[in-house]
Amino acid sequence: MAGTGFTSGADGTMPQIVRTDDVLGGDPRIEDHRIGVYHVYQRYMEGDETPEEIATSYDISVAEVHASLAYAFSNPEEMREIEARNQARYDEDAGNRVTPDDRA
């Protein structure tokens, strides 16, 4: 918007959500970071953190958090698919985890 003085990214560009096959298994992520959209979305949906707190913890801009959330809310089915895939991996690896009772 001309005349507003608004800039979103450090260089004045809008943060981009990208996919790269060899980064995060091709899941959507914030450009120039290995921070997945789902990671930001999950923390936000848990309800304990504001976008500002998420940005601080990941050392990214608030604009990048909002870009991630906009993508996530625009693609709810994809977020559910990522969540299901992550849960399946977690369940599959359950037998390999060491718990306090496993230590002798």
C-alpha span between 16 and 63 (Å, rounded):
10
Q: What does the radius of gyration of the chain's CA atoms come to, in whole angstroms?
A: 17
Domain count, the chain: 1
- CATH number of residue 60's parent domain: 1.10.10.10
Q: pLDDT category, 9, cuts 50, 70, 90? A: low
Q: Report the pLDDT averaged over residues 33-57.
A: 95
Residue 100 inside a domain? The answer is no
Residue 76 inside a domain? The answer is yes
- pLDDT digits 0-9 by tens, 77-87: 999 999 999 89
DSSP string over 39-96: HHHHHHHTTS--HHHHHHHHT--HHHHHHHHHHHHH-HHHHHHHHHHHHHHHHHGGGG
Residue 102 inside a domain? The answer is no
- The per-residue pLDDT for 12 is 66
pTM beyond 0.85, yes or no: no
Residue 6 inside a domain? The answer is no
Residue 70 inside a domain? The answer is yes
Residue 46 inside a domain? The answer is yes
Domain housing 32: 17-91
Residue 26 inside a domain? The answer is yes
Residue 5 inside a domain? The answer is no
- The per-residue pLDDT for 54 is 97
